[in-house]
Amino acid sequence: MKQSDFPKRFSQPIAASASSGNLANIPATQATAGDGTASVALGFPPETFIGRSAGGVPPRGQDMNGFLNRLSSVLQAYQAGMIGVYDAGFAFSIGGYASGAVVAGTTPGTFWVSTADNNMTQPGANGAFWQNLFANYLPLAGGKLSGSLIIGSFYSFNADNGYSTFYRPSRAPSDGILDYYSDVGGTYSNVARITSDGSFNIYGSGHFYESNQQVATQNWANGQFATPTWVSAQFAQSSWVSSQFERLGNCVPVATYTGDFSTSDSRVINLAYGHRIQFFTVSVGNDTTVGSWVTFPQAFSNTPIVLVGASGNDDSVSDTDYWVYGATTTGVYVRPRNHIGLANLIAIGSK
């Protein structure tokens, strides 16, 4: 059958222009038995099939117009593409809608399909045996996909201005490559690619960002960190001293370090650049005229600065005051004010 075989449509129902006296409203049942009027239940009643001479009643023309008008009105509605809404009274009279029956929703553009036979439930009601005709279709906005989505070898998502657009050309079966393109300006430009080994490549002058921070590239890192070639060159200019690696010209030789800082006396701290601190405790007598001569653990190369102090704050042996004087490179005089006791000395000078 072809579209051209579609029968002529009813632009208006049969007897649409008939007068009310010539167009009967066909009732469900005959109001008065035996009067010859037609009904939905009997159609034309038995008496219309009996000759008038035998007591029959002829069929009425207005009943014929009524039947034809009603049937052509239904056909006209279907020819116009109409689908009726759910009718509870109609459902009751036919024992319920059949499985697969479709009714229109109360909201224009919505339709319901019956999921059970003898269905007298209300579409949209909780537990009703109806589902939206478009339940298994994704809407243009607000939809959500679940599970796997199988797409052909080429697909795209296009924004109005060309942004957020990407395609996936299948270069080889199961190659595992995902290409992202931009069609800004009407030209498809490859901007990024995920390869089968999991690598992510950015093309052109684009950058990769993590938390709004640009990630360093290999080219940038090559200028910031030591490369194998650079390290090899440094080893070629270096030497080994006492089994320790030192960069030639940039490190303190072991001999220099040992000469500057080594000491066998716990009372002596050697410093860099030829300086030294000596700290020790001595007992000094109460000689009011001369004091006690104290020799440094190690001699200085020039006269040092000497500090002295007691260990208490009372007028006892450990709390006396001291004077220091007459310092030389090898020692200093120390005299207590009133008691014999221990004096704490610190001398600072050149080795």
CATH code of residue 342: 2.60.40.3940
- Do the Cβ atoms of 268 and 298 come closer than 8 Å? yes
In a domain, 214, yes or no: yes
In a domain, 81, yes or no: no
Question: Both 336 and 277 in a single domain?
Answer: yes
Domain count, the chain: 3
Supply the pTM of this predicted model.
0.46
Decide if 239 is inside a domain. Answer: no
Spatial separation of the C-alpha atoms in residues 97 and 117, rounded to whole Å: 6
Are 72 and 18 spatial neighbours (Cβ–Cβ below 8 Å)?
A: no
Within-domain flag for 74: no
Beta pairing, strands 292-295 & 305-309? unpaired
CA distance 333 to 325: 5
Domain span at residue 343 reads 263-350
Residues 170 and 217 in one domain: yes
CA nearest neighbour of 98 among 78, 111, 115, 121:
115
Find residue 309's DSSP bridge partners.
344
Q: Which residues contact 78 (CB under 8 A, 6 or more apart)?
A: none
Task: Tell me, yes or no, whether 314 lies in a domain.
Answer: yes
What is the chain's pLDDT, residue by residue, as a tens digit (351 residues)? Answer: 999 999 999 999 999 999 999 999 999 999 999 999 999 999 999 999 999 999 999 999 999 999 999 999 999 999 999 999 999 999 999 999 999 999 999 999 999 999 999 999 999 999 999 999 988 888 777 777 776 666 665 555 555 554 444 555 545 554 556 776 665 555 556 677 777 777 777 777 777 788 888 888 777 777 677 777 776 676 665 555 555 555 556 667 777 888 888 888 999 999 988 899 999 998 887 655 567 899 999 999 999 999 988 766 655 655 667 888 999 999 999 888 777 778 899 999 999
Q: Is residue 27 part of a domain?
A: no
